[in-house]
Amino acid sequence: MLYALSPVQIIEVKNLFKKFGSFTANDDLTFDVKQGEIFGFLGANGAGKTTAIKILCGLSKPTSGEVKVAGFDVYTQTENIKKNIGYMSQKFSLYEDLTVTENIRFYAGIYGISRKEIKERTNILVEKLHLESVKDTLIKSLPLGWKQKLAFSVAIFHEPKIVFLDEPTSGVDPITRRQFWEMIYEAANNDMTVFVTTHYLDEAEYCNRVSIMVDGRIDALDSPKNLKEKYNAENMNEVFLKLARK
C-alpha cells in the first residue's frame, strides 16, 4: 500500500489529558493526522477511544492539552469544527421512519446546503448507490448493508474535511465490510481524511497508519507494516495482543 504523506496536518493533538474526577480517560495523548489519510484508532473497550473522539468532534472539552481539528481550536472554535467534520457511529444514525431521500434531505439540510443542490446531488447519490428503486422506501425495510452505505454517504454529503467513523462495520457481514472499505478509499482519494475506530483487526491493515490505545495512553502509532516488523508479528491481531498483554 503506497501513499505519499501529505504535509498538511488536519488533526493536531499535543499532550491531551481528559480526567473524570480521579479517573484519567486520556493520558497524555500526542498524535497528528494528515490530510487524506486513513487513520485507524484502535483500542480495547474502555481504553479511551470514545472520549478522544468526542473531544475531536467538539462535544467535550479536554482537561488540558492542545487540540486542533481542521485548523480550529477545540476550546474556542467548536462551531467551525462542526461545519468541517462528518460523523457516523455504529448505530448508523438514520431515521428508520423516514425514507432514503428524506434522510438525505434532512441531514444535508442541517448543514445548510441549499435545497437545489440537495436535490441534484441526492439524485446522483441514489444512482451511485443503486438505490433508485427504494429511494422512497422507509429505512427500516432496507437491509443492513444498504443502510450502512447510505449512512456513510449521508455523513460525507456536506463534503467535510474529516469524517469520524466510530466502529462503522459492527455487525456487518465480510462482503459488505469489504465494499464499505472501498467507499472509505474513494473518500480518502478525494482528499478527505478518515478517522476510524474498529474492533476488527484485519481492518486495521487497510489503514495508512494505526494508533493503539491501552488504558488511556497511545502505546503504538505507525503504519501497519512497521508495527508488524517492530513487534515481530504476523498480523495486526498479534501486534494488538502483544501490546495489550504487556
User: Can you give the binding site for other proteins, defined by CB under 8 A?
Assistant: 57-61, 79, 82-83, 85, 87-98, 102, 105-107, 109-112, 138, 155, 164
Least distance to other proteins from the beta carbon of 186, Å? Answer: 21
In terms of CB distance, is 60 or 237 closer to other proteins? 60
Quote the least distance from Cβ 246 to other proteins, whole Å.
31
- Residue 242 CB, nearest approach to other proteins (Å): 33
| Complex with other proteins: residue 96 or 202, whichever CB lies closer | 96
The long-range contacts involving 174-181, CB below 8 angstroms and separated by at least 24 positions, are: 176/144, 176/145, 176/148, 177/203, 179/145, 179/149, 180/148, 180/149, 180/152, 181/206
> Counting Cβ atoms within 10 Å, is residue 143 exposed (0-12), middle (13-18) or buried (19+)?
exposed
Nearer to other proteins, 113 or 244 (CB): 113
- What is the spatial distance between Cα 73 and Cα 167, in angstroms, rounded to a whole number? 25
Considering the complex, state which of residue 55 and residue 214 has its C-beta at the smaller distance from other proteins: 55
CB 161 within 8 A of CB 35: yes
> The sheet that has 64-69: what strands, in order across it?
23-34, 9-20, 64-69, 72-73
Nearest residue (CB) to other proteins, 41 versus 164: 164
Least CB distance to other proteins at residue 61 (A):
6
The most distant pair of C-alpha atoms in the chain lies apart, rounded to whole Å, by 56
Cell match 432496507: residue?
Answer: 142
